Amino acid sequence: MKRVLLASAALSCIAAAQPRGAAAQMVEGLYVGGLAGVTWLSDTNAPIAPPASANLSTPSDHFQRKWDPGFAGVLNVGYGLIGGLRGELEAFYRTSDAASGLAFNRPASGGTANSYGLMANVYYDFAIGGPNPVAIPYVGGGVGYAWTDWSSVGGRAGSAALNIDGSDGSWAYQAIAGVAFPIPAVPGLAITAEYRYFGTFDNPSLSGTVTGPGYARSQQIPVATSNHNVMLGVRFNFGRIPAPAPVAAAAPAPARTFMVFFDWNRADLTDRARQIIAEAAQARTRQQVTRIDVTGHTDTSGSAQYNQGLSVRRANAVAAELVRLGVPRGEITARGVGESQLLVATPDNTREPQNRRVEIVLR
């Protein structure tokens, strides 16, 4: 028990050093699981004496038995704590059939050894492999109580017979090493593979009967229970949800253009012009705008030099109105391009109303 407590303390220290970034690997909260596999029960070598009346030429004082590989099954429920630690309760069952052995120095076979009980386990999951690991190794240990039940185990030599048919309980322990393989398609589901060594602190004492001609004696026979187990299983961690899909960056809103028109050879704003500029200022509040381009234009009447200056005055008039309506001046780029970008193509010295404009572009 002292070794188990020391191991638990060591696991707690390791968990404290667990990288926080690896938490996505760990079991969190409630989980259930089950495993099934093969168990190898250790050989039995129990002291036993034949009756003197059996008249055996080479009496033996031991009962020996080997066991076939048997079945092991486990059901568990647990809870994942912080830093890779988790606690668990398990119910187990193991069964093995007798393979060969000796009774009173004579070959003997037959019988079944069963074991079942409850264990309390502590595990530590190792944080390796990044946020989406293929495999998660873990180690653990547990203590609990196990019942050993033998049925029709015995042997015969001449007129001497031995039959062991009984059960006994004892405190038990186990050491565990395993690997979990998460199933990405089902969050919380994992396939597990484990090795377990299981034993009891004291050998169970089972009731045996030795008989011979005119003789019968009951005897408590201590039997070994240690075994090795290899198992596969499944585990489901409740409450796990798929990692959110990466959110695509929102596409920038398309540029929106407003047209403000001017009278011939004028840079002052009409009522209609002010209305359009107000609509542009209002639109700025409904979409994400990083820059407002204000570009002044003229028609082809007048000289190119004069028209350049007129286009700048028109752009500045619109920019000033936007500022008056609450738009920061730093968001506005105002410039004039004269008659270089006509909306309607015309010959030189032509008064075209649609070319006398300022374009407001929200970007």
How is residue 339 annotated by DSSP?
T
Mean pLDDT of all residues in the chain? Answer: 85
Model-level pTM?
0.62
Tell me the domain boundaries of the chain: 2-237, 256-362
CATH of 2-237, one of 3.30.1330.60, 2.40.160.20, 2.60.40.1180, 2.60.40.1930: 2.40.160.20
More confident call, 336 vs 64:
336
pLDDT for 1 beyond 60: no
Calpha distance 198→72 (Å, rounded): 11
Superfamily of the domain at 256-362? OmpA-like domain (3.30.1330.60)
Show the tokens assigned to 339: 């008659």
Number of neighbouring beta carbons within 10 Å of residue 32? 14
- Chain Cα centroid distance, residue 72: 27
160 and 211 in contact (C-beta within 8 Å)? Answer: yes
State what percent of residues in the chain have pLDDT above 70: 83
Give the range among 55-59, 167-171, 236-240, 300-304 with minimum mean pLDDT: 55-59
| Predicted local confidence at residue 109, as pLDDT | 67
Cβ atoms 203, 222 nearer than 8 A: yes
Q: What is the pLDDT of residue 16?
A: 41
- Asked if 195 contacts 178 with a C-beta cutoff of 8 angstroms, the reply is yes
Q: Which region among 18-27, 115-124, 185-194 has the lowest average model confidence (pLDDT)?
A: 18-27
Q: What is the DSSP string of 68-120?
A: --EEEEEEEEEEE-GGGEEEEEEEEEEEEEEEEEEETTEE----EEEEEEEEE
Angle at 229 between CA 223 and CA 234, to 5 degrees: 140
Q: In 3D, which of 319, 253, 257, 259 has the Cα closest to residue 287?
A: 253
With bands split at pLDDT 50, 70 and 90, how would you rate the model's confidence at 102? low
pLDDT tens column, 344-363: 999 999 999 999 999 999 98
The SS3 call for residue 239 is coil
Residue 357: the pLDDT is: 96
| Closest of 145, 153, 13, 15 to residue 95, by C-alpha | 153
Give the ranges where the chain is alpha helix by DSSP (H).
2-16, 271-286, 304-324
Residue reference for tokens 């070994």: 224
Q: What is the pLDDT of residues 235-280, one digit of tens each?
A: 999 987 766 667 776 666 678 899 999 999 999 999 999 999 999 9
Six-digit token pair at 83?
A: 């830093």
Q: Who contacts 209 (Cβ-Cβ below 8 Å, separation ≥6)?
A: 162, 163, 164, 165, 216, 217, 218, 219
The whole-number average pLDDT for the span 298-316 is 94
